[in-house]
Amino acid sequence: MAYLRCIGCGERTAEPSGWQQCQACGDLLEAAYDELAWGTTLTPAGAAEWQRRWRERRQSDRREDRSGVWRFRELLPILNEGSQAISLEEGNTPIYELPRCRRQSGIAGLWAKHQGMNPTGSFKDLGMTAAVSRARERGATAVACASTGNTAASMAAYAAAAGMRSLVLIPSGKIAGNKLAQSMDYGAITCQLDTDFDGCTRVLRELLELAPVYVVNSINPYRVEGQKTLAAELLEQRDWEVPDHVLVPGGNLANSSALGKGFLELQAWGLCRRVPQISIIQAEGANPLARTMREAGGRKLIEVRAETRATAIRIGKPASWKKAVRVLEATGGVCREVSEAEIALAKAELGAEGIGCEPASATTWAGMKRLVQEGFIGKQQSVILVLTGHTLKDADYVMQFHEGRLLDAAETRGWETALAAERRRLWHLPARAEAVKQALDEAAADTLAQ
């Protein structure tokens, strides 16, 4: 079974009520294990046997077996025997080839793992199934989070599935409308606060003094356990062949931490021989980790006032920064930042592959182009981009981009030609076939002109 331990002082602890942090030193908690179903490490034959069982579960009719998280339950023994997980059959998301991006970058081994194909449209579902299942096991009747939108949408859905109440604190006017709509649809008590994400987090901590809610923000160590199964699922899809690089966007930095924990544990337990280099990409306007690495060698958090249109990563004071620094150091990855123009361009380029994602997710493709240019990613290497959310989460962004209303002149400078080439035109025509034919001809001319 799992126990919790502090990442700072190492103190072993029971789960605290209220804000989940070490009672001795205030640092983050993580789940740890002395014994797994198979002991601690596996022989190659033992590993192959577990890999076969996990794959077979996909054919089962049981929801825990079909879930891309609980199918790997031996990797996260966090629920008591006989406890039922709250699952919406999360995970099992596709890996897509990116032929256009491959040609452009010259990297033949390039794929996207699309976490936007989860039940509520983002990777948050992997963590939420774990955290809400724990909450219900503990007898909590209400869960709560501060959110940039997707955590709220996911929590509201899983709480509804568990028959629990949920409370959402979001920054007023600073989240994508469709995420807000999901929160309402799934029945959360939804509060927009006149502050940013970091302010919402502060209010949630204060609220704990007044109301006993179970916090499912990503400081919740069980959420990280659900999210780490992405590593196992990804390797399974590649027949357990480890890629050289995995790129992931960085906001509150729980996802990158979870991914690193997942790979490092799989290696320690004998399920893979090496780990990929995990690199984290941030938006220029919300770059606390990039600055922390560059200016403080990863030793002290440099907080920023976050501003970016990629609202899912609009975070200036990331809770899991220490865990993320350790993942960068343990896997040899780097943190980079990309501009608003690079994000918008990358998103449109992925879109042109038939792969829609959120602006925050597109940072990975933008960041990869930089890392190839730097020579950090070599031409013969294999790269997985983690696309964290679905394009329908933020359709406003898409329309603003194509109508040329998204970026201002200063942001566009230097990128005019590249951006113009990706901007798709919306035709408004009289209802006559001739008009449509003319549009077809013009569109064909546009394509040829490029």
Residues near ligand PLP (CB under 6 A):
122, 124, 150, 218, 249-256, 312-313, 358, 360-361, 388-389
CA distances from 258 to 63, 153, 253, 278, 366 (A): 23, 20, 9, 11, 22
Q: How far is the CB of 313 from Zn ion (least distance, A)?
A: 28
3-state SS record for the chain:
CEEEEECCCCCEECCCCCCCCCCCCCCCEEEEECCECCECCCCHHHHHHHHHHHHHHCCCCCHHHHCCCHHHHHHCCCCCCCCCCCCCCCCCCCEEECHHHHHHHCCCEEEEEEHHHCCCCECHHHHHHHHHHHHHHCCCCEEEEECCCHHHHHHHHHHHHHCCEEEEEEECCCCCHHHHHHHHHCCCEEEEECCCHHHHHHHHHHHCCCCCCEECCCCCHHHHHHHHHHHHHHHHHCCCCCCCEEEEECCCCHHHHHHHHHHHHHHHCCCCCCCCEEEEEEECCECHHHHHHHHHCCCCCCCCCCCCCCHHHCCCCCCCHHHHHHHHHHHCCCEEEECHHHHHHHHHHHHCCCCCECHHHHHHHHHHHHHHHHCCCCCCCEEEEEECEEHHHHHHHHHHHHCCCCCCHHHHCCCHHHHHHHCCCCCCCCCCHHHHHHHHHHHHHHHHHC
**How many residues can be counted in the chain?**
450
3 is an interface residue for Zn ion by CB under 5 A: no
Nearest alpha carbon to residue 67 among 54, 50, 82, 80: 54
Q: How far is the CB of 278 from ligand PLP (least distance, A)?
A: 12
Q: How far is the CB of 107 from ligand PLP (least distance, A)?
A: 22
150 touches which of Zn ion, ligand PLP, none (CB within 5 to 8 A by kind)?
Answer: ligand PLP
Integer Cα distance of 30 and 21 in angstroms: 9
Q: How far is the CB of 313 from ligand PLP (least distance, A)?
A: 5
Q: Which is nearer to ligand PLP, 47 or 387 (CB)?
A: 387
Tell me which residue has its CB nearest to ligand PLP. Answer: 389
Q: Which is nearer to ligand PLP, 133 or 361 (CB)?
A: 361
Q: How far is the CB of 419 from ligand PLP (least distance, A)?
A: 22
CB 86 within 8 A of CB 162: yes
Kind of pairing between the strands at 142-146 and 29-33: unpaired
Q: Which is nearer to ligand PLP, 128 or 345 (CB)?
A: 128
Residues 11-40 that bind Zn ion (CB under 5 A): 11, 22, 24-25, 27
9 is an interface residue for Zn ion by CB under 5 A: yes
Q: How far is the CB of 347 from ligand PLP (least distance, A)?
A: 12
129 touches which of ligand PLP, Zn ion, none (CB within 5 to 8 A by kind)?
Answer: none
6 touches which of ligand PLP, Zn ion, none (CB within 5 to 8 A by kind)?
Answer: Zn ion
List of residues 6+ apart from 174 with CB closer than 8 A: 148, 196, 197, 311, 314
Q: How far is the CB of 279 from ligand PLP (least distance, A)?
A: 13
Q: Which is nearer to ligand PLP, 51 or 282 (CB)?
A: 282
24 touches which of ligand PLP, Zn ion, none (CB within 5 to 8 A by kind)?
Answer: Zn ion
108 is an interface residue for Zn ion by CB under 5 A: no
253 touches which of ligand PLP, Zn ion, none (CB within 5 to 8 A by kind)?
Answer: ligand PLP
Q: How far is the CB of 227 from ligand PLP (least distance, A)?
A: 8
Q: Which is nearer to ligand PLP, 91 or 389 (CB)?
A: 389
9 touches which of Zn ion, ligand PLP, none (CB within 5 to 8 A by kind)?
Answer: Zn ion
48 is an interface residue for Zn ion by CB under 5 A: no
Q: How far is the CB of 1 from Zn ion (least distance, A)?
A: 21
Nearest alpha carbon to residue 424 among 448, 394, 395, 404: 404
Q: Which is nearer to ligand PLP, 68 or 250 (CB)?
A: 250
Q: How far is the CB of 415 from Zn ion (least distance, A)?
A: 46
251 touches which of ligand PLP, Zn ion, none (CB within 5 to 8 A by kind)?
Answer: ligand PLP
313 touches which of ligand PLP, Zn ion, none (CB within 5 to 8 A by kind)?
Answer: ligand PLP
25 touches which of Zn ion, ligand PLP, none (CB within 5 to 8 A by kind)?
Answer: Zn ion
Integer Cα distance of 286 and 337 in angstroms: 9
Q: Name which position in 2, 6, 234, 328 contacts Zn ion (CB under 5 A).
A: 6
435 touches which of Zn ion, ligand PLP, none (CB within 5 to 8 A by kind)?
Answer: none
254 touches which of ligand PLP, Zn ion, none (CB within 5 to 8 A by kind)?
Answer: ligand PLP
Q: How far is the CB of 416 from ligand PLP (least distance, A)?
A: 27
Binding site for Zn ion (CB under 5 A): 6, 8-9, 11, 22, 24-25, 27
